[in-house]
Amino acid sequence: MLQGRVIQWEAEKTSLQRMLVRTCLASEGQAAELDLLLNELRKDLRKDSLDLVKWRTLQDQIDRQIALLDEPAVASSAALSTPVSSPISAAPPQPAAAAGDDNDLGNNQQRLRIARRVGQLLGQLLQQVTLEPGADAEARQLQQSLLKSEDWEELREGLNRVAELVIAAVTRGQRDFEAFLKRLDERLQSLRQHFQDQSSAQAGRLDASVELDREIQQELAQIGHQVQSSHELAGLKQSVTRHLQSIGGAVRRFREQESEREKNLSHQLEAMQEKLAAVEANSEKMQERIREERARALIDLLTQLPNREAWQERLAFEYNRWQRYRHPLTIAVLDIDLFKRVNDSYGHIAGDRVLQLVARELRDRLRNTDFIARFGGEEFVLLLPETPCAAAEGVLNEMRGHIAQLPFHFRGEPVTVTFSAGVAEFGDGDTEEAVFDRADRALYAAKDGGRNQVRLASARG
């Protein structure tokens, strides 16, 4: 159970860190000082331990910088906020701010986009992290506010509450972990007491046996002495009879004490069996929980594909298998072309939707023995066992043509989505890193060669 709680805590911590990093990236570009603070926060998130006191200080500083965004913008800011057109789609023209407005309209639109994005990330967070009932209800209400409200004051307060909820979730995880350790210590103490009682009972049994032996030896010695010194048969008979009765009484007392000890021991053993049965049941639940948490920890939240950690595990497994049998094994690295333009032109919701659809189509068109994972951003990685490089190229080109024909539509406009890929096959003397690097270089060659194509890496180098 301890390991299960640790895994759950790590999974929740990872989800919280991922949300904060995405929020920071989504919030960049508002002000130079704010960007520095967000960069400092991201550096903290990469550390193994979290300094909650420093986080609260950063939160206060970030709050002040956000408050400064509400001050009247200089006249040149409107020009800086004009969207840049892209080959995929030009962003719809924004109405100019009316003279005398307190806030620049372009900045307000950007803030609304940030709030909407944080609302989406908060929804994803709630699927992965368990909050207290009150905090969970507040988080869901806060999510709806971030997704729908047009009032910047309300949105700003909501963004502040997101940070507080993250801190509350971290603190709750620590409290739960401490409570679990306390319960575990109590159960171990109970079992320890049972063992001590059994040890005491065994010591009592040995002491009673020694005492019985002493009494019998003493009585027998007295009988022997009286036999030797007695001159009257009647008196000797009486003396022997008394000593035999004394010995019988000692044996009877020993048996009664032994029976009582055995009864107590039987009760203790029954209690221990119940405790051990409870521990076994908890162990089974813990193992199931570990499996569930492990599976969740290896799944990418957005695409539901295996994540980078799962990729490393599967790559190591297939590499070891390849070393044993030397059957063909190929790596492919895919990257969606011009993905940033989708985000810039249509927003992060559209970008997320592209990632989800592409991930689903790629996964559905692979064999059960193949493996696909989201490596990061808009990049995916594939393992193709029993597949030489030339055959893998054909598979990737078929996928590429299928993705290019998917009917993506944003704001009523058809948008073509393509990807580029690099493919490399394992050969003698190769390591996992060497083959991946060759596939990655082949991907960049495909990008440089005009995108929407598959390139094969050279055998070595």
Tokens of 426: 């394992």
Q: Which of 153, 149, 162, 150 is nearest to 66 (CA)?
A: 153
Distance from CA of residue 177 to its chain's centroid?
Answer: 15
Radius of gyration of the chain (CA): 37
Report the side by side order of strands in the sheet with 379-385.
371-376, 379-385, 329-336, 419-425, 454-456
**From 378, 386, 432, 433, active-site residue:** 378
Work out the burial of residue 446: count CB atoms within 10 Å of its CB; fewer than 13 is exposed, 13-18 middle, 19 or more buried. buried
Is 153 assigned a catalytic role? no
308 close to 376: Cβ distance less than 8 angstroms: yes
Tokens of 46: 């990469």
Q: How many CB atoms lie within 10 A of CB 390?
A: 12
Contacts of 421 (CB under 8 A, 6+ apart): 332, 333, 334, 335, 396, 400, 442, 443, 446, 453, 454, 455
Q: Which of 251, 218, 377 is nearest to 303 (CA)?
A: 377
Active-site residues: which are they?
378
